[in-house]
Amino acid sequence: MMSLSETIWAVVKILIMVGFLFNVGGLLTWLDRRQSAMIQDRIGPNRAVIKVFGIEFRLGGLLHPLADGVKFFFKEDFIPPRGDKLLFAVAPILVMAPVLALIAVIPFGDKLCVDDLWRTTDTGSLLFPAVPRYGSCLIPVARGGIAAIDLQVASLNVGILYVFALAGQGIVGAALAGWSSDNKFSLLGALRAASQMVSYEVTIGMSLVGALMIYGSVRMGDMVRWQGDHAWGIFIQPLAFFMFFMAAVAESKRIPFDLPEAESELVSGYFTEYSGMKFGMFYFAEYMEVVTSSMLLVTIFLGGWQLPFLHRDGLTIDIGTWRALQLPMNHLTVTAIQVCTFFGKVLFLCWIQCFVRWSLPRFRYDQLMKLCWRILLPLSLANILVTGVVYLLLDHAGPVLGNTLQMIGDLTQAVVAIAITYFVLSIVIGLIRPTRRTSWVVGSTAKLAQRFGGTPRSPRMQA
Amino acid sequence: MTQAAAFPKKRATPFTPVVVKHAERSLSNQSYIPEIIRGVGESMRHFFRNTKEMWKNDRPDPVTQRLDKGITTISYPEQKRPYPERFRGLHRLMARDDGSPRCVACLCCSTACPAQCIFIEAGEYPEGDKRRGYERFPVRFVIDELRCIFCGFCVEACPCDAIRMDTGVHATPYDSRDQFIYDKGLLMSFAGRDGSHKTENPRHEPGEKTHPGIDRERSH
């Protein structure tokens, strides 16, 4: 039986995760259009306007997803007359539900001690004390404290297995959608979707085994904690990271793996016959899958909520046994930073996935299957083997090697910290640096434009 | 005998076959991964540059800097490419100093018009007017802009620089055909690109010293 505070916290956590998923899913439709425009030297959607008291708001095209939503609700809800009406209606739900359920096991922050958020020190000053790095809160449950709250909707002990189980459910929805549509293109798309997702499901599972061996747990929270203490998964299992990334893109059925909905071949694949909000659900589920796969990647390979050197008790820079800096921080600040870090990393990966989607051409179908069964699967098996051997060797190596490994792990953290700083700095510098331009005034059009001081534009124009 | 040709012939070049370069079958090509990274990197270069320029509203000018990197799209209704100086746009009728049309209703333009889109009803000046006998005036001057093919023959044909196509405005879309029928008043109301309704070419009114004084009755 849950207590009231537990119930409230559960609701809050669900709202945070689902709210994030839905909003970012919607924003991704905008990001996809706008980012593709930026990549392809276009302006992109910017015509949807809301007029408030005569002032036009375009918000950089952010209103287009809104307009899309309105359109989805008002379009005809077409059901093929000879299709299977029940399955046709159920399929979008079956596609969307697993994606929503999948985020339950993804932790977006470390254990939260509610008591310690606002507690002052014993002397009464307003300085919040830092909580210990490991273990629970300042006041243990035995002495009347509240148990620490996992910032995770459901801290399942099966963790990643639950993710695999649910990720496999998406196939059912896609297959049913194609089957019930009474359309050959849909059926072909569904067949492709089913075979592709089943194939890549194998790679998803296999590529993670090496990581699971090293983390020694299938609980997502434990994985993230391990990465914070040692090194991020991308440094320990780089091959697995890339294989999982590829397989995750293939699972979300986006370019370059969008064969189930290949426009040039299958109209739009298994959801050809869908319209209105049912189509919207497929469309939306695809974007939400991008978010969930990013969340999985972040949790398993990119240190989840961890920032380099930021632990539960504050900023501690340790390189091996040498302590460079220790700065205790209070629990509220650390938690806030960590939660923001997690969501920031997820957004970053979604952004990267959009780049992949707009840069690469679509695979041919045999190439897709070859990539999976002939390359990714053997590679992931080899990865498991090598990881196991190396893990066994290192386990029996002794303390000197252990310390060296810890030092290397700390150095990778330093590398990440430097990389993040470099990335942010280069963006800032790039924004400040002025752009050099060259003019070619050839022909009377250009001469006229130059006489006007640039091509004439009315003040109404916005981005 | 060699003569400097105005248009020298291009020297025939020996036939050089174009060698189509196939991608090498190297490990980096076959594994696809370095190329993916290069491709995504190229996308990112474009993305960062364009996003920055979009953010700072500092895009290259779509006409004068059209070959520069960046987004050179013209946002059409809000932003317009200036038409070249010799662009033949909507017609206009030039005015005399007193504001009446320079047109003398000689029907040269309507005769020259291959689309037959100009209709002129000529009128005689009243008795006593100094222009009577020398020239006539257009009672109606109508151009069907839908029929017009914008060839500019009317402008070429006009002996007194009365009709021009230098408004710099293209034919405007309307929702009804009769709106494309431009009458004299409308054609007079358009100004040239410099905003003027007049022309630099002098007009010699009857009675002035510069007027040759030739008319239908007196032919010297």
pLDDT tens sequence across A399-448: 788 788 888 888 888 898 999 999 999 999 988 888 888 888 888 888 88
Asked if residue A228 belongs to a domain, the reply is: yes
Asked if residue A64 belongs to a domain, the reply is: yes
Angle at A145 between CA A143 and CA A149, to 5 degrees: 140
Cβ distance A444 to B39 less than 8 Å, yes or no, reads no
Cβ distance B60 to A437 less than 8 Å, yes or no, reads yes
Same domain, yes or no: B139 and B68: no
Asked if residue A264 belongs to a domain, the reply is: yes
Asked if residue A366 belongs to a domain, the reply is: yes
Asked if residue B15 belongs to a domain, the reply is: no
Instruction: Say if residue A381's pLDDT is above 60.
Output: yes
Asked if residue A212 belongs to a domain, the reply is: yes
ipTM of the complex: 0.84
Same domain, yes or no: B102 and B66: no
pLDDT for position A418:
92
pLDDT for position A423:
92
Asked if residue B205 belongs to a domain, the reply is: no
More confident residue, B197 or B206: B197
Tokens of residue B123, six digits: 């009128």
What's the rounded Cα separation, in Å, for the pair A309 and B117? 81
Asked if residue A445 belongs to a domain, the reply is: no
Instruction: Say if residue A353's pLDDT is above 60.
Output: yes
User: Cα Rg for chain B, rounded, in angstroms?
Assistant: 29
Percent of chain A with pLDDT strictly greater than 90: 12
Find residue A327's DSSP bridge partners.
A315
Cβ distance B63 to A431 less than 8 Å, yes or no, reads no
What's the rounded Cα separation, in Å, for the pair A137 and B149? 84
Residue with tokens 């909000």: A277
Asked if residue A456 belongs to a domain, the reply is: no
Nearest to A360 among B39, B48, B70 (CB): B39
What's the rounded Cα separation, in Å, for the pair A92 and A70? 18
Same domain, yes or no: B136 and B175: yes
Asked if residue B55 belongs to a domain, the reply is: yes
A91-112: pLDDT as tens digits: 999 988 988 888 888 888 888 7
Chain B residue numbers with beta carbons less than 8 Å from the beta carbon of A447 are 85
Q: For residue A381, give the DSSP letter.
A: H
Of A9, A177, A182, nearest in space to A82 by CA: A182
What's the rounded Cα separation, in Å, for the pair A295 and A224? 12
CA distances from A136 to A130, A147, A207, A313 (A): 12, 8, 32, 12
Instruction: Say if residue B141's pLDDT is above 80.
Output: yes
Instruction: Say if residue B219's pLDDT is above 80.
Output: no
Residue with tokens 């539960």: A312
Summarize the confidence of residues B152-162 as an average pLDDT. 91
Q: Which of A48-57, A175-184, A306-315 has the highest mean pLDDT?
A: A175-184
Percent of chain B with pLDDT strictly greater than 70: 88
User: Which range marks the domain in which residue B122 is found?
Assistant: 92-189
pLDDT tier, A383 (very low <50, low <70, confident <90, very high otherwise) = very high
Summarize the confidence of residues B190-199 as an average pLDDT. 85
pLDDT for position B1:
45
Instruction: Say if residue B159's pLDDT is above 60.
Output: yes
Indicate the number of domains in chain B.
2
Assign 3-state DSSP to chain B and report helix, strand, coil percentages, each to 5: 20, 10, 65
More confident residue, B4 or A385: A385
Q: Indicate which CATH number applies to the domain containing B174.
A: 3.30.70.3270
Asked if residue A440 belongs to a domain, the reply is: no
What's the rounded Cα separation, in Å, for the pair A90 and A106? 26
The three-state secondary structure class of A192 is helix
Find residue A316's DSSP bridge partners.
A326
Same domain, yes or no: B173 and B97: yes
Same domain, yes or no: B114 and B72: no
Whether B78 has its CB under 8 Å from any CB of chain A: the answer is yes
* Single-letter residue type at A297: L
Asked if residue B132 belongs to a domain, the reply is: yes
Beta strands, E only, A97-223: 109-112, 149-151
Chain B residue numbers with beta carbons less than 8 Å from the beta carbon of A359 are 36, 39-40, 42-43
Find residue B95's DSSP bridge partners.
B101
Same domain, yes or no: B97 and B165: yes
Summarize the confidence of residues B178-195 as an average pLDDT. 89
Residues A137/A113, Cβ–Cβ less than 8 Å: yes
Whether B89 has its CB under 8 Å from any CB of chain A: the answer is no
pLDDT for position A399:
79
What's the rounded Cα separation, in Å, for the pair A295 and A79? 34
Q: For residue B69, give the DSSP letter.
A: S
User: Which range marks the domain in which residue A115 is found?
Assistant: 4-432
Asked if residue B218 belongs to a domain, the reply is: no
Q: For residue A374, give the DSSP letter.
A: I
B62-111: pLDDT as tens digits: 888 888 888 888 888 778 888 888 888 899 999 988 888 899 999 999 99
Indicate the number of domains in chain A.
1
Cβ distance B71 to A430 less than 8 Å, yes or no, reads no
Nearest-neighbour CA in chain B from A452: distance (Å)? 9
* Single-letter residue type at A451: R
Cβ distance B46 to A456 less than 8 Å, yes or no, reads no
Same domain, yes or no: B155 and B182: yes
Same domain, yes or no: B136 and B181: yes
Chain A residue numbers with beta carbons less than 8 Å from the beta carbon of B49 are 435
